Structure 1
Amino acid sequence: MSDFPRIIPLFPLPNLVLFPGIKVPLHIFEPRYKEMVTDASAGDGLIGMILLKGEWQQDYVTQESYHAYPDIFEVGCAGRIEELVQLPEGRFNVVLQGISEFRVKHEMRERSYRQAEVEWCPVAHEALDCDSETLEGLREVLFSYFGAPAQEAWRALVEERGFHGAELINFLSFHLDVTPLEKQTILEAFAGRADCLIDVLSFKLEERKLGPAGTGGGPDSVQ
């Protein structure tokens, strides 16, 4: 993607995995990230959202390690600043819209915030188009796992709002109540994202059936 920059700022978080097309609100208050937003808004408006990995908290135990570089995953999603409100003390409320997946090649340490040279690896919308079998498989596992709320959400998204393909898969991947690590796995599946989403939900459905410690003591089991 020649129109995208080679180097972008990184905003690592422990609990947020962004997907293309998704809008996410952020409250920016740390000095280094206030600088990041100021720089990004004066330029192309891009910020690379990326998930922190492992025991990242250990790097923030002391003030001396506050600007440490805890491990991050290799794949993230860049968002463009859609809305920006400056608040007292230099804080910001920001709305980012996800635009493309990227892969970190190596980090740059020239600013107070993290930056990286990245390889852009966007998934074409048509690559996430679901055939009827995949769409039906997704619908079934959603209904099985989430029950009536999923049926209402499916009707609203697919039948009323006309969501399909990339729009539907990315929306569900972001909003479903699964762990950040599971969402990261779905993001990294790229063109296989729909099948990965089905696999993640199917696994969680089996976990529920087995209950605590694999005993079969799920919520509907006989005690």
Structure 2
Amino acid sequence: MTDKIAISDRAIVIPVFPLPNVVFFPKMQLPLHIFEQRYRQMVRDALEKERLIGMALLRGDWEKDYYQNPDIYAVGCLGSIAGVTPLPDGRFNILLHGVREYEIQEHILEQTPYRRARVVLREEMAALEPSYFESLKTEVAELARETVGERAPELIKALDDASLDGETWLNLFCASLDVSTLERQSLLEAKSLPERAARLLQVLRFQAAENRTLADRFRRGPDSKLPH
């Protein structure tokens, strides 16, 4: 399976793997270690069928209901199992390749030990206009160097990677930047690439402004106060 997966109907039933701190994006890769019995069964079932798993973010006070069916965000990302390593004790190491955003229409909590859902796949997003993509890269590069600096050299290196198309480049930064899980979920939920880019810029601009304020306070000494 690839990101050009042939799906005749955009409404499909998929297994759902909810996690507390993971937001998955199309065209990205996600390594996962599968150890819970219910999710081992999920992987075995997926390998016998279309090799598809939907990643979803847990929401709210999920800890108390983790072993049942806690709340999850409705928008997630469908992944295709691109690699799998079965381990002797029944666990798996798998690699997911992000395919498409989806939105849950109905939860299916019977028949399998893991959660499934009827979802509608988002339509494939239109590519970024070349001129907009170039201006986006310029601003993101400036802001990322200011906010990330030397803490993420591989991410900074990717700023100038001409081999990446607009969606891959944008999703790479959305998936990799040091932002909160909820901010990352908001980036995933954007309904177009320009909207996702605008949300990313908003986050980066806020981080940059916050860094400048803290740096200015440091220069002025410990008795200075942050502006209200």
Do they fold alike, i.e. is TM over 0.5? yes
Q: How far apart are residue 208 of structure 1 and its match?
A: 3.5
Q: How many residue pairs are counted as aligned between the two chains? A: 212
Mapping of 1:58-77 within 5 angstroms?
58-60=64-66, 66=67, 68-77=68-77
198, 201, 212: which one pairs with 1:198?
201
The alignment-based identity, stated in percent, is 37
Corresponding residue SS for 1:16? coil
Q: How far apart are residue 190 of structure 1 and its match?
A: 2.9
Paired residue for 2:179? Answer: 178
Paired residue for 1:145? Answer: 147
1:200 and 1:158 map into 2 onto residues whose CA distance is: 17
Q: In the alignment, is the contact (CA less than 8 A) between 2:26 and 2:101 conserved in 1?
A: yes
Q: How far apart are residue 135 of structure 1 and its match?
A: 2.7
Mapping of 1:1-223 within 5 angstroms?
1-2=7-8, 6-60=12-66, 66=67, 68-110=68-110, 111-124=112-125, 126-127=127-128, 130-148=132-150, 153-154=155-156, 156-191=157-192, 192-211=195-214, 222-223=221-222
Q: Which runs of 5+ in 1 are unaligned?
A: 61-65
Corresponding residue SS for 2:80? strand
Aligned-residue Cα RMSD (Å) equals 2.4
Q: Which runs of 5+ in 2 are unaligned?
A: 1-6, 223-228
TM-score w.r.t. length of structure 1: 0.85
Paired residue for 1:63? Answer: none
TM-score w.r.t. length of structure 2: 0.83
